[in-house]
Chains A and B, each alone.
Chain A
């Protein structure tokens, strides 16, 4: 038998899910799989499309990689859509003219945005909101002179688009033909709560009106929109997001049955009127007559179709009908309809609807809680027998996970207690513990509570990340992650497992808790903290390699305000010195052969020729290897411990100070040359980088901190890859936080925009101090933002809106740090006691360590590693005086 061929038309989210489902069933190993993708890039997460505007890159939105396609031998053709299907000859032709014969054909062509027939809709400045390319075009156009934008459509996508325009700095209008926003999901009460909240955010909402005409100037560019009530709103750009329509043209052209209002007609196994042709996702009209526009039903269809095709093409069986009959062991997976529950965060507002949200069932009753002041609206739809049928939540969708899972059953508490705020006389909110095992927790991947519990009980998962990996729950839209966490915690607790969140074997507290203890009790020594707050068995001990540097860093961060010795080699009896990792201990970076490297601070990467010459001279005189770092500084390698004071005496003399390359502290603030030299620059990025570097130098933190300042949106300083990055705008600075390079790169998120110099510094002060206060040990800002509850929104609430009332204190702590900064190397050189540590051998201070030797490579030194691989090297001292000390 020849290898059968499966052709997939369309590589969106559902298409990719179909490929994964095929691979999971082993079908990619027995069939040739060809994918025709219209967009210039493989499948990406369209649900999170808007996150592009808050910093997500197209790469981060991607749902697949070359590895997946290679591993499963899938032929992916991007930018080459199918243009014709010949069902007689069973072939598909692509735009580039290629023809593929198929045994099974799957249409996953998705939908296209509906653009209402408004005169002027083709003017320059009119966009749709569907693909990454659409977003790139919108961004590019908005960066021009656009000041005002109009979004046509007040549904889910429309509000996302409005959020994007607002984020780009445009005054934004929303025009919705219905009487309320999000009419599909929420009722009148929910719609008006949503409207009030959006209007408070300075969005202009026009409901019950249609766009009548788009007014363009002589160049054909949009200038205004006339509405059906006769009013006119100015508009530099218009985005249409008034719903989508199934892309079924290919099916129509090839004679497949198509619904009256569109959508390829499919049966419960996703087969079209031609048994060799399947349709899945938004282009398909399911057996219940609905064209689903959500991803979860699409995923469901992908799974059903993959199973049907895997059976159809199974060796020795050519007939799809015969397959289920022959393998009667299990009923075939079918798609007959789907739950359209959704929970979203639109413009920072929670909106959720589930089940029979509009109360269409006979005898359905409403239970409503509404607080207009707080912008909260909650409605439950209940059957006469008390069963929960559905509901709408606006402004507070905390209970969504539990409520959705309870839908269809009679809740164990009265319905009103499920919507009343905690503490309003109702029994405390119902937790996920009350859910039955068959309650679906993750809608995207159809994972029920029983499966999550099994992951904990049978697969040894002890946290949400491992449960996600094991069950796929929480890896779709992510709205169930909180409930997942509660179920995992409850299950562990029920099993008698206590999750020890302690820092190490010596402390049962987390780093953040230790920070609070040190700060409030003003504990200035490690020994004092260990003996008062360590685990019982660790008190009076030495601590360990985990807690010692961690506590040293906390004490250093807080030193000015708790009255501790700020020098890392200070403290009573030099205690701080004993706590530091070797890098901090010798104020240099340990390299593989036991030598150290030295990095003087070069603020902003700006350096005078005189200083460059000094670095060259010092490196030459001490025989050091030199290399330019990624942080715009110069690293000098190959120094022995006993050489460090001599090297630094020269550097400090020339005006250099410690670069803290050895510390969990601020490293560098990189910069581009900015508006001073660059013809594109809009702000003086070098000056700002120097200001920031000098302000935060020496700041001890849970992990290293990197920063950069770019003078324009071209972003030459790569600020988006930094813990805090600054990008100039024509009216100030945008502050991005939580970026990272390294093994898990992450683009930084926009925290605030168009800041003045003073606002930028104030927000950065708060952000850094809040991070230092709450992060775990060795947790970079990127991981911290992902971990802490509420994520970026919470961080923004705290540092921008002062939701915890902490900002004054955070700023005061930073002011203390700035006022008390002293160069560590200058202070070390001035203190003979500290200098005494810099010897290779305590009993032979003049003898260099013989294992630290170098050989030559490309005209510089490199470590002689042969010395380290052999047996011990005895040290021969010139005068053998050591022998004599034994007789003393």
Chain B
């Protein structure tokens, strides 16, 4: 389809042997590194692939805390939550879907507008 190739990102940054910190997600008994911490802008997310092919949305809040939830917006089915805006409400952090603006609590995955709807939440840490 495309005739043009543009290199848009450096290759696997976690490869670097320096002490660059990275965000890891727990997969069963293992921790899996999804990206380097400095690839994230606080308040903004990125999409990442987990080993089983699941799409995850990875966020960093202003205090440096990481969050990982499923990337699929349950209201529209589109894989876009990583492109939403992160915000704070009542002490917690949420992401607002970029499509129809529903907010999802980043710790529980629960939709703030409709508690019956939720997204998966993944354990994560910075290393």
Contacts and interface: CB of A to CB of B under 8 A. Distances in A.
A843 B14 CA distance: 9
Given A542-B88, A649-B6, A650-B4, A886 B76 contact: no
A869 B12 contact: no
Interface string A563-574: 000000000011
Given A542-B61, A542-B87, A875 B53 contact: yes
A592 B76 contact: yes
Interface stretch (A382-390, A424-432, A581-589): A581-589
A263 to B, nearest CB: 60
A578 B41 contact: yes
B58 A842 contact: yes
A840 interface: yes
A332 interface: no
Contact of B47 (A538, A622, A840): A840
Contact of B2 (A573, A621, A845, A883): A621
A594 interface: yes
A742 interface: no
Interface in B53-73: 53-55, 58, 61-63, 70, 72
B46 interface: yes
A622 B2 contact: yes
Nearest to A863: B78
A447 interface: no
Given A545-B103, A594-B78, A646 B83 contact: no
B72 A872 contact: yes
A872 B70 contact: yes
Contacts of A585: 44, 83
A646 B46 contact: no
A623 interface: yes
B19 to A, nearest CB: 14
Contacts of B84: 545, 582
B18 interface: no
A81 interface: no
Contacts of A543: 43, 87-88
A575 interface: yes
B79 A586 contact: no
A579 interface: yes
Interface stretch (A109-117, A268-276, A400-408, A831-839): A831-839
Given A594-B79, A868-B78, A845 B9 contact: yes
A885 B77 CA distance: 28
A404 B15 CA distance: 81
A839 B11 CA distance: 12
B4 A649 contact: yes
Given A548-B87, A872-B54, A843 B41 contact: no
A643 B98 CA distance: 19
B85 interface: yes
B101 interface: yes
Interface string B1-37: 1111110111110110000000000010011111100
A590 B63 CA distance: 29
Contacts of A718: none
A366 interface: no
Contacts of B2: 621-623, 643, 646
Contact of B96 (A545, A867, A882): A545
Interface residues of B, number: 59
B118 interface: no
Tell me which of B3, B48, B49, B93 has the highest count of chain A C-beta atoms within 10 A of its own C-beta: B49
A578 B59 CA distance: 11
B107 to A, nearest CB: 14
Contacts of A875: 49, 53-55
A468 to B, nearest CB: 29
Contact of B85 (A581, A646, A849): A581
Interface in A853-867: 865, 867
A89 interface: no
Nearest to A876: B53
Contacts of A505: 89
A841 interface: yes
A874 B47 contact: no
Nearest to A646: B4
A581 B84 CA distance: 7
Contacts of B3: 621
B109 to A, nearest CB: 14
A650 B6 CA distance: 11
B27 to A, nearest CB: 7
Nearest to A504: B87
Nearest to A877: B49
A642 interface: yes
B115 interface: no
Given A544-B88, A622-B2, A874-B53, A842 B34 contact: yes
B54 A874 contact: yes
Contacts of A594: 78-80
A544 B87 contact: yes
Contact of B12 (A538, A643, A843, A876): A843
Contacts of B93: 542
B33 A885 contact: yes
Nearest to B58: A842
A93 interface: no
A839 B79 contact: no
A847 B8 contact: no
Contacts of B86: 542, 578
B117 interface: no
Contacts of B15: 888
B1 A623 contact: yes
Contacts of B53: 873-877
Contact of B8 (A527, A583, A645): A645
A578 B42 CA distance: 7
B62 A574 contact: no
A844 interface: yes
B10 A843 contact: no
B94 to A, nearest CB: 8
The winner among A540, A542, A845 for most chain B CB atoms within 10 A is: A542
A842 B9 CA distance: 8
Contact of B49 (A548, A574, A844, A869): A844
Contacts of A592: 76, 78, 99
A696 B52 CA distance: 49
Interface string A255-294: 0000000000000000000000000000000000000000
Interface string A590-605: 1011100000000000
A579 B77 contact: no
Contact of B83 (A548, A582, A645): A582
Nearest to B93: A542
A153 to B, nearest CB: 56
Contact of B41 (A573, A844, A869): A573
Interface string A529-560: 00000000010111111001100000000000
Nearest to A574: B41
B76 A885 contact: no
A886 B70 CA distance: 19
- Looking at A540, A645, A843, A874, which has the most chain B CB atoms within 10 Å of its CB? A843
B1 A622 contact: yes
A183 interface: no
A753 to B, nearest CB: 42
Interface of B: 1-6, 8-12, 14-15, 27, 30-35, 39, 41-44, 46-55, 58, 61-63, 70, 72, 76-80, 83-89, 93, 96, 98-99, 101, 103
12 contacts: A582-B83, A583-B98, A840-B47, A843-B12, A847-B49, A849-B47, A851-B55, A868-B77, A869-B77, A874-B54, A875-B55, A886-B27
Interface of A: 505-506, 527, 538, 540-545, 548-549, 573-575, 577-579, 581-583, 585-586, 590, 592-594, 621-623, 642-643, 645-646, 649-650, 835-836, 838-845, 847, 849, 851, 865, 867-869, 872-877, 882-883, 885-886, 888
Given A623-B1, A649-B4, A842-B46, 7 more contacts: A592-B76, A594-B79, A841-B48, A841-B55, A843-B49, A872-B55, A872-B72
